[in-house]
Structure 1
Amino acid sequence: MKLPTTLRALPMPLWLQGVFELGQAAVISALLVVIPVAAVWFTGGFADRTPESAARLAGQGWLVMHGVPLVLQFPAGLAGADAVAGLLHVIPLGLVLVPLLLAWRAGRRLARASYTDQLWQAFLGALATYAIIGAVIAYVSTTPEASAPLVAAALIPPVSAGVGLVTGAYREAGAWSRLVGVDFAAWVGRTSQHSRWAGSYAWSILRSGFLAVMVAASLAAALLAVAIGLNWTGIAAIYERIDGGIAGASVVTLLQLGLLPNLAVWTMSWCTGAGFALGSGSSLTPLASTVGPLPALPILGALPAGTLDHGYAALAIPVLAGLLAGWWFFREGENHFDEWLALHSGQRWLTSTVSTLALAGLIGITAGLLGAVAALVSRASLGLGRFTDLGPDPLSVGLWLALEVAVGAILGHAAGPLLEREPRRS
C-alpha cells in the first residue's frame, strides 16, 4: 500500500533539523570527555568515586571544555569563615575546536536544507537545543565540591556552536545574500566612491593586523615546539612521577593537547616582552623567569628558568610579523589614504611619510587589539590557592604587540617597492 504523495513528501521542519544536528554534536563532543573519564575509572584511577560521581565529573569536564566556569568549594559542603571558594575558569582552545568543527559541519548541512531567509529557524532550534543541554548538564553535574552556574551553562556553550554554525553555513552558501537575504555587494555598490575607498582601506588594515597576529602566533607555536623538543627529558621525568598508567597518561596528554593553543598564545605574549604569569609571584619574560612550585603537568617542564642570555632575540618575532603585514598591505594596493593625501599636496616626501606612519599605526593598533583578545581568552584560573592568575596580561600584550608590529609594518611597507620591483628585461 502506497502512502499519499502529501504524506511521503513531508520534509522535516528546519527547527527540528537544527535540534538533531546540534544534539548530535553535543553527544559526539561529550564522548571526548566521557571515554577518558570512564577509562580512568575502570582502571581504578577514581577508587573513591561511584559511577554517578564519575559521570558528574565527565559532565563538568564537558562544561569546562566549552569555557563554562566552575564554582569550587573547599572543604566540600562547608559554609562559614572556614570555607574557601573560588572560580575555576579556562577555555581549552584545542578542545573547544571539537564542538566548533561539529557545529561547522552542522551549519553546512542546515544551509543546504534551507531556503533564503529561512536559515534562522534552523539556527534557533539548534542553539536553543545546545543551551538546554548545557543547563541540564550543569544541573545534574552539581556536586558539593564543584558546580556551574545554570545561566552560564546555558549561554556560553552556544557561543562556540554559533560561531561554527555561521561559518559553516557561509562556507556552504558562498554569499551572505543566500543566508540573510541581503545583497551586501549591491549595497556597497550604491555607496559613493570615497566610501568604497575608505571601506577597502579599513578592510585591508583589518586583514593586515589579523595576518600579523597569525604570523606571530605561528612563529611562537614553532618556538614552543622547539622548547618541548629540547626539554623532552624533563617532560618525560614528570610523566614518570605522575605514574598514572596508560589511562592516566592518556588523559594528561589529551588535556595538554587541549591547552596547546593557549600555551602558544602565552608564548606569543612572552615574545612580545609582556611575558605571562603562572600563579601569584611568578613572572616569565624573555630576559628573566621567576617561577614557584607548579602543578604536575609534564609540558610545564619546557618552561625556561632563571636569566636568559639571548632571550631578547624573541622580540624579533612580532617585528617580523609586522614586516610581513606591511609588505602584504603594499601588495594589496589599497592605500587610498596615501592617494588622497597625494591629491591634496604636492610634497610627496611628506604625504608618503604621513601615510606610511598612519597605516603602520593602524595595523599595530589592530594587531594589538586582536592580540589582547587572544591573551584574554587564553587566560585561566584554577580557582583556589596561588594559581588564580595564569596567563598573560591582555593590556600589556596589546600595548607591546601594537608597538612592535607597527615598527615592523613601517619596515615592510617601505621595503615593498624594492621587493616587488620587476627585473629588467634584456
Structure 2
Amino acid sequence: MFQRVLWVSLSQVLRSIALVLLPISFLTLIAWATAGSITGNTSDPIRAAMWVWLGIHHIPFSLSLPPAAVEGYLSYLPLGALLFPFLAIRSSFSRVVEKLDKETHLVNIARVHFTIIYCLIAELLILASKTDAIRPVWYVAIAILIPAVYLTTLTVGKSVTLTQPLSFGTRIVALLLGVSALFLALSLFIHVSTVRDLITVLRPGVFGGFLLLLINIVYLPNAAVSSMAYLSGTGFGVGSNTLVSPLEHSVAQIPALPILGALPSTEHPQFLFSIFFFVMAGALLASWTITLSTRILWQSYFVTLSLIFLLTFFASGSLLTEEMSAVGPSLWKFPLSVAIEMGIGIALAIFIPQISLPTRKAKIK
C-alpha cells in the first residue's frame, strides 16, 4: 500500500513538472536557435528553462553579473506566472485522488508524499542548473514550495469552504485589486505612446515580440499591486532611492519594459483622494461583519492585512543590480498605510451610528 501511494505520487509529480517545464523548454530552444549565438551550446537553453521554471515558482536567484562578476539578486518575479504551476499541481494531484479511489487516509498520505517529492525534484533542478554566475537560492525554495504545494493539493478532492474571516478578507482584497487594475488600465491607455516607444527601442521581432508580450502579461499582477500602493498614497519604487507616489516622483530612468510605460511622469497630488477607497473598504468590511460579531470583524481585518502583506512580498523585490534593488511597494509602509486607512473606515462605521442614535432619540423625546 505504501509503495502504491509513493509510486502514484511520484508519477504525478513528474507529470505536473513536465506540464510546465516542457513548454518552457520548447520556447527557450526556439529563442536560443533564433538568437544565432556562436559561443553557446545546447545545454544553455535547457538550463535557462530550469531557471524559468524555478522563477515562476518565485524562487530567487543570487547572481554574479559579468564581466566584472558584480554581485546581484533577482527576486522581483512575476505573480501572474504562479498560475501555471498552480494549475499543473491541481491537475496532477486530482489524478492521485482518482487513482487512490478517494480513500481519505491514502489521499492524506499522498498529499505529504507529493509535496516532499515535488520539493526534492525542485532542489535537484536547482543543483543541475546552478552556475558560478546564476545560483538559485535553495533554502528559499524549501520555505516557499512546502507550504505552497501542500496548500494547493488541499484544494483538490473536496470542496473548500472558506472561514468567514478569510472569505470577507479575500473579498476586500479582490475589490481593492480590481480598482487598482482599472487604474492601471487607464494609465496604460493614457501613456500608450510611451509604451509604443519602449517596444520600438527593444525591436523584439516576431518571436521576441510574443515572448515580450507574455512577460508583460505575467507581470501585470505585480503592476496592479504597485498601483494599489500608489492609490494608498505610499507609492512604490522602481530602483534604489526612487519613489513614485502622488506627492513624489523621483525616478531617473526605467528599464525598457513596455508595462513600465504606464508610470506617471510627475507628481499627481489629486490622486490622494484615492485614499478614500481604502477608508471605504474598511467601512464596508465593518458593515459586513459587525452584525455577526466584533471578533469576526477584527479577524477579517487581520486576514485582509495579512493578504496585503503577502501580495506585497511576492510583488516586490530586487531586479538584478544594486541600482534596481528595490522594485515595487515597500514591505512595511504599504501594509501599514492600508492598516491605518482601513482602520479609520472601520472606526467611522462603528462610531458614527452610535453618535447618531442618541441624537435621534433626543429628537423623538
The match for 1:161 is 149
The match for 1:216 is 176
Q: Distance in 2 between matches of 1:336 and 1:69?
A: 40
Q: Distance in 1 between matches of 2:343 and 2:334?
A: 14
The one-letter amino acid paired with 1:42 is A
The one-letter amino acid paired with 1:232 is V
The match for 2:82 is 96
Q: Distance in 1 between matches of 2:349 and 2:179?
A: 17
Aligned to 2:118, which of 118, 130, 135? 130
What is the Cα deviation at residue 273 of structure 1? 1.2
Number of equivalences: 353
Residue 281 of structure 2 aligns to a residue in which SS? Answer: helix
TM-score (structure 1 length as normaliser): 0.75
Provide, for residues 44-99 of structure 1, a one-character-per-residue CA deviation record: whole Å limited to 9, x for no partner.
265643221122112111111111121211336xxxxx642222113421111111
Aligned to 2:129, which of 127, 135, 141? 141
Provide, for residues 330-387 of structure 1, a one-character-per-residue CA deviation record: whole Å limited to 9, x for no partner.
5xx41267xxxxxxxxxxxxxxxxxxxx94x665454333312221221121232300
Provide, for residues 399-426 of structure 1, a one-character-per-residue CA deviation record: whole Å limited to 9, x for no partner.
21012112333455679999xxxxxxxx
The 1:125/1:59 distance shift into structure 2, 3 A limit, reads same
Match status 1:84 vs 2:75: no
The match for 1:409 is 346
1:255-334 to 2 correspondences below 5 Å? 255-330=215-290, 333-334=291-292
The match for 2:94 is 108
Provide, for residues 213-266 of structure 1, a one-character-per-residue CA deviation record: whole Å limited to 9, x for no partner.
221122111111121122222112211110111111111221121111111111
The 1:275/1:309 distance shift into structure 2, 3 A limit, reads closer
Provide, for residues 101-122 of structure 1, a one-character-per-residue CA deviation record: whole Å limited to 9, x for no partner.
2212233333343312222331
| 406-415 vs 115-124, greater mean Cα deviation | 406-415
The 1:168/1:116 distance shift into structure 2, 3 A limit, reads closer
What is the Cα deviation at residue 392 of structure 1? 1.1
What is the Cα deviation at residue 162 of structure 1? 2.3
Q: Distance in 1 between matches of 2:256 and 2:314?
A: 23
Match status 1:60 vs 2:51: yes
Unaligned runs of 5+ in 1: 1-9, 77-81, 177-202, 338-357, 419-426
The one-letter amino acid paired with 2:229 is S
Residue 380 of structure 1 aligns to a residue in which SS? Answer: coil
The one-letter amino acid paired with 2:169 is G
Provide, for residues 139-177 of structure 1, a one-character-per-residue CA deviation record: whole Å limited to 9, x for no partner.
221223212244444554444332221122333xx689x
Q: Distance in 2 between matches of 1:162 and 1:63?
A: 17
Cα pair 1:275 1:286 within 8 Å, conserved = yes
The match for 1:15 is 6
- Identity value in percent: 23
The one-letter amino acid paired with 1:115 is E
Q: Distance in 2 between matches of 1:28 and 1:20?
A: 12
The match for 1:244 is 204
The one-letter amino acid paired with 1:147 is R
1:18-57 to 2 correspondences below 5 Å? 18-44=9-35, 46=37, 48-57=39-48
The one-letter amino acid paired with 2:263 is L
The one-letter amino acid paired with 1:384 is T
What is the Cα deviation at residue 35 of structure 1? 2.8
| 226-235 vs 276-285, greater mean Cα deviation | 226-235
Q: Distance in 1 between matches of 2:353 and 2:14?
A: 50
Q: Distance in 2 between matches of 1:254 and 1:284?
A: 25
The one-letter amino acid paired with 2:254 is L
The 1:269/1:170 distance shift into structure 2, 3 A limit, reads farther
- Whose radius of gyration is greater, 1 or 2? 1
Residue 198 of structure 2 aligns to a residue in which SS? Answer: helix
The one-letter amino acid paired with 1:326 is A
Cα pair 2:58 2:314 within 8 Å, conserved = no
Q: Distance in 2 between matches of 1:368 and 1:153?
A: 24
Q: Distance in 1 between matches of 2:173 and 2:112?
A: 33
Q: Distance in 1 between matches of 2:214 and 2:18?
A: 18
The 1:395/1:336 distance shift into structure 2, 3 A limit, reads closer
What is the Cα deviation at residue 125 of structure 1? 2.9
Q: Distance in 1 between matches of 2:222 and 2:35?
A: 31
Residue 324 of structure 2 aligns to a residue in which SS? Answer: coil
Q: Distance in 1 between matches of 2:85 and 2:344?
A: 38
The match for 1:349 is none
What is the Cα deviation at residue 284 of structure 1? 1.0
The one-letter amino acid paired with 1:397 is F
Residue 292 of structure 2 aligns to a residue in which SS? Answer: coil
The one-letter amino acid paired with 2:51 is Q
The one-letter amino acid paired with 2:15 is Q
Q: Distance in 2 between matches of 1:85 and 1:103?
A: 34
Q: Distance in 2 between matches of 1:389 and 1:318?
A: 24
Residue 169 of structure 1 aligns to a residue in which SS? Answer: coil
The one-letter amino acid paired with 1:17 is V
RMSD: 2.9
The 1:166/1:144 distance shift into structure 2, 3 A limit, reads same
Q: Distance in 2 between matches of 1:416 and 1:14?
A: 58
Residue 170 of structure 1 aligns to a residue in which SS? Answer: coil
The match for 1:185 is none
TM-score (structure 2 length as normaliser): 0.86
The 1:48/1:221 distance shift into structure 2, 3 A limit, reads farther
